[in-house]
Amino acid sequence: MQIHAVSLDLDDTLWPVLPALIEAERCVDAWLREHHPTVATAWPIEAMRELRDRIALENTHLSHDFSEQRRLTIRHAFAACGIDDAPVDELWSIYFAARNRVELYPDSLAALERIAAHLPIASISNGNADLEVIGLDHFFRERLSASGEGVAKPHPQIFRAAAERLGIAPQHILHVGDDPLLDVVGAREAGLATAWLNRTGERWSHGPAPDLEFTDMTALADWLDALRASDPSIHTHPNAR
């Protein structure tokens, strides 16, 4: 296997996403209770979550765009309370700021530093995490999101777009992510090498096994170091960043 670049999932690969999403919902709810108590009473957190799920189901054309789903949810919640000019932008920025206050897994930062020193990295995410806001953008040569590309993982097109942007053939890119379907199956379909980041010790039960499996990002960085040591002819990218 010759690996010349890494593509990385973000949520639940570099940080656990659920705590940030829950906190973001809480921040939105707190703002509503202060500024629009009627809306807050009509749409407590659980009801707002169900509304968003329903809006996602009813708007499959937005399945790649979680941000637009949320904005639509806000508009709908306010309209149901008789308010047509919902403060969509304000609420979206409150949500977005909290959603990006993620706490990295303890192994993520050091591993990113090690990998980025030798290989270009692209991020491929279906979510709306913002690497600049999080402060990790300098590790990534390319950043691809489902909303930006108009198509979400596991569609092969988003992986091929990453390969094109990196200028590296798909088979020389190792895609790493926690989700068996979105990351491993999707990347394999697009011809990338695949690594399943299995932090919770699950058993693989999704068809053909991934090329590689790691328990954390340190194990990935170790494997890439060993690969480089075993074959010095593999070109490295001194200016990978």
Contact positions vs Mg ion (CB under 5 A): 9, 11-12, 178-179
Q: Which amino acid is at 66?
A: F
Closest to Mg ion by CB, 11 vs 25, is 11
What is the rounded end-to-end Cα distance, in angstroms, of the chain? 22
Q: Which amino acid is at 85?
A: D
The minimum distance between CB 12 and Mg ion, in angstroms, equals 4
The minimum distance between CB 13 and Mg ion, in angstroms, equals 5
Closest to Mg ion by CB, 25 vs 179, is 179
Closest to Mg ion by CB, 78 vs 140, is 140
DSSP assignment, residue 155? S
Q: Does residue 154 have a cis peptide bond before it, meaning omega lies within 30 degrees of 0? A: yes
User: Which residues are paired to 123 by β-bridges?
Assistant: 8, 143
Asked whether the beta carbons of 240 and 224 are under 8 A apart, the reply is no
Structure tokens at 72: 């639509």
Structure tokens at 27: 């921040």
Closest to Mg ion by CB, 146 vs 193, is 146
- Give the H/E segment covering residue 27: helix 18-35
Closest to Mg ion by CB, 156 vs 186, is 186
The minimum distance between CB 140 and Mg ion, in angstroms, equals 15
Question: Residues 6 or more apart from 205 whose CB is under 8 A from it?
Answer: none
Closest to Mg ion by CB, 168 vs 184, is 184
Beta strands 173-177 and 142-145: pairing type? unpaired
Name the residue with the smallest CB distance to Mg ion. Answer: 12
Residue ranges of E strands in the chain: 5-8, 121-125, 142-145, 173-177, 193-197, 212-214
- Residue of 158, 161, 176 whose CA lies nearest to 121: 176
The minimum distance between CB 37 and Mg ion, in angstroms, equals 36
Q: Does residue 44 have a cis peptide bond before it, meaning omega lies within 30 degrees of 0? A: no
Closest to Mg ion by CB, 5 vs 182, is 182
The minimum distance between CB 153 and Mg ion, in angstroms, equals 9
The minimum distance between CB 102 and Mg ion, in angstroms, equals 12
The minimum distance between CB 144 and Mg ion, in angstroms, equals 14
